[in-house]
Amino acid sequence: MNQTLLLSIVLAPLFGSIIAGLFGNQVGRVWAHRVAVYGVGIAFVLSVWVLKLVAIDGETYNQQVYQWLQSGSLSLEVGFMVDALTAMMMVVVTFVSLMVHIYTIGYMQDDDGYARFFSYISLFTFSMLMLVMANNFMQLFFGWEAVGLVSYLLIGFWYKKPTAIFANLKAFLVNRVGDFGFLLGIAGVLMYAGSLDYVEVFAQAPAISEQSIAIFAGHDWSVMSLICILLFIGAMGKSAQVPLHVWLPNSMEGPTPISALIHAATMVTAGIFMVTRMSPLFEFSETALSFVLVIGSITALFMGFLGLIQNDIKRVIAYSTLSQLGYMTVALGASAYSAGVFHLMTHAFFKALLFLGAGSVIMAMHHEQDIRKMGGLKKYMPITYWTALIGSLALIGFPGLSGFFSKDSIIEAVHASEIAGSNFAYFAVVVGVFVTALYSFRLFFLVFHGKERFKIDGHHLPHESPAVVTVPLILLAIPSVISGYLIGSMVFGDFFGNAIVVHANHDVLAEHAESYHGVLSFMLHGLTALPFWLAMAGVATAYYLYMMRPDIPTKLQQRFNWLFRILDNKYGFDSFNQTVFAGGARSFGHLLWQVGDRLLIDGFIVNGAAKTVGFTSKVVRHVQSGYLYHYAFAMIIGLYLLLTFFVA
């Protein structure tokens, strides 16, 4: 594995972004999308080759590429660490990005910002690759902030749409909250390890874990717990964990392709990847692991409930993403890192499939997104229907599909965990299985089955999307089925090797690895386990409520209107943020304007200086009377004062 190969993977999408962004008008729409697609396509092919070198040939890479700054003993560098964890992420990021690039050709064909959009999504791919390939905290932070910046540009891509501008500003500000904690965590690493290089920091983890710090007088904190919690706060923002989750549903205001790219496979999984990469640190702090476990379980369960009442097709899938990110986070808290990133991989495929399938439906419905105004689309859109069915079944964990293997491995790991919060976490992820199946098939049945609830126009009937849209759906459906069969090597095997560190007392997957006898036995065991029956109960409930007795949901809403209001208000998080934080910031800004700007700066400093000069001038001008005897008298008095001063 050489440096040129890795640089080509990173720079190919960047080159496509520059050409499409700066020279889009000169090269035209066709070549704007071609250079972007070719750039990401090259990155994907080379990433597959890197995965082969790592997984089959056993090669790894960890070297400096460029030294950016040297300050004393601190060296800030650009460098690559490529191991099994990195190689897997590289393939997932570039594959999903390639599918989104191809899909975008059809979805955005009539948009005025065509070349600009391709520039943004290619730049996003470059930023994400820099993040996952980093071998030091400085480069990690660069990629971390770069994906945040590009997501801001993508969410607000339709900049004439007020809701899109509100959404991208909200995403940007909420992520800054998490990033502040992340930056403090990196500062803690530098303070106690004296380096930002992963290998050097991880080597000092045992020594750091023995140190304490008194943040408040008389209260000692574990340095390792503090650093890990601060790092995880960054992950809470990027991976949308409660309470920093509020930006993700609003981000659906952007074009559908970015929903698949950012909110399914890449940006929102950056936090999951980061915590997994930092496993050598987190394993020294059960406090931090418990914190991660509880936050993840709350997100998995309570965000799933919100998906039950959404009527916007993209928002239902968005809340599903929140819930599934909670599952991944729960796995990290239980020290089942390999199960967490395994679910990250499988989820990337089927959630990107669902988002792109939703976009296909939106195109067919002439940009209608309310699922209550759809129905019966199966006969009009057969390819979208079958791929959406595969994605939905994978999401609920139907046996044989990818989500079944990854989700069940997480549930089993949490059940075996004994750290604080594990009992609540197990309850949350098990109940979440029923909730996931219920909202997933509520969406599926309302969109594709039942009577047609849209206005029928003979000239504008719904129709299947063009091949440039359906081919990515088919290609994403394939790994949504088969990627789960890698569970033997990725979860119970030694695929990740030294990339993931788990201490013996936290190794919840070890016991299950001993009893693992292949995917067939795993599936047979899953058919008798509680999660499978809860998933089937969720599907049956959705069918009964929305296909056989559609009057019941309305009656339930009326009967439990207080509960519906709580869910519709999103537990008050948005209202609280708007009132306390946003409202408080506006009030504080108004106070600074009135007191600081108008009274102190304008009134006292600027106008005050002018008034002082004017007042002084009024007084001094009386001295300039024009009479000679006045000036002579002033000279005599001045001479007297000077003589008095010098004589004294």
- Write down the pLDDT at residue 219: 78
Going through 58-131 in order, the beta strands assigned E by DSSP cover 61-71, 74-82
Q: For the chain, give every domain's residue range.
A: 285-568, 581-647
- Write down the pLDDT at residue 267: 83
Q: Three-state SS for 4? A: helix
Q: What is the dihedral of CA 196, 201, 204, 209, to 10 degrees?
A: 100
Dihedral sign of CA atoms 384, 389, 394, 400 in order: negative
Task: Give the C-alpha distances (Å, rounded to integers) separating 409 from 43, 73, 290, 330.
Answer: 31, 44, 19, 12
Cα gap 462→455, rounded to integer Å: 10
Residue whose entry in the numeric block shows the structure tokens 């997984």 = 55
Cα gap 239→248, rounded to integer Å: 9
β-strand partners of 467: none
For residue 327, how many other CB atoms are within 10 A of its CB? Answer: 31
- Write down the pLDDT at residue 299: 94
Backbone angles phi, psi at 550, to 5 degrees: -65, -10
- Mean pLDDT, the chain, as a whole number? 89
pLDDT tens across 191-212, in order?
999 889 999 999 999 999 888 8
Who contacts 519 (Cβ-Cβ below 8 Å, separation ≥6)?
405, 484, 485, 487, 488
Cα gap 322→304, rounded to integer Å: 8
Cβ-contact 280, 138 below 8 angstroms: no
- Write down the pLDDT at residue 88: 94
- Write down the pLDDT at residue 26: 87
β-strand partners of 66: 78
* Terminal C-alpha separation, the chain: 89
- Write down the pLDDT at residue 585: 80
Joined tokens for residue 487: 């569970």
Joined tokens for residue 536: 């089937």
Residue 461 DSSP label = -
Q: What is the C-alpha R_g of the chain?
A: 30
Who contacts 556 (Cβ-Cβ below 8 Å, separation ≥6)?
none
For residue 274, which amino acid is it?
M
- Write down the pLDDT at residue 580: 81
Q: Which residues in the chain show pLDDT less than 50? A: none
Joined tokens for residue 146: 């770069």
The closest alpha carbon to 429, from 326, 522, 295, 291, belongs to 326
Task: Give the C-alpha distances (Å, rounded to integers) separating 446 from 3, 249, 321, 452, 536.
Answer: 51, 20, 20, 9, 18
For Cα atoms 183, 188, 194, give the angle at the middle one, nearest 5 degrees: 115
Across 560-590, b (16+ Cβ under 10 Å) vs e yields eeeeeeebeebbeeeebbeeeeeeeeeeeee
- Write down the pLDDT at residue 264: 67
Joined tokens for residue 615: 């007042």
Joined tokens for residue 305: 């409930």
The H or E element that residue 578 is part of is none
Q: Counting every residue, how long is the chain?
A: 648
For Cα atoms 240, 91, 384, give the angle at the middle one, nearest 5 degrees: 75
Cβ-contact 88, 51 below 8 angstroms: yes
Please, where are the H alpha helices in 194-262?
198-203, 205-209, 223-238, 247-250, 256-260
Q: Three-state SS for 61? A: strand
Cα gap 551→94, rounded to integer Å: 45
Cα gap 545→537, rounded to integer Å: 12
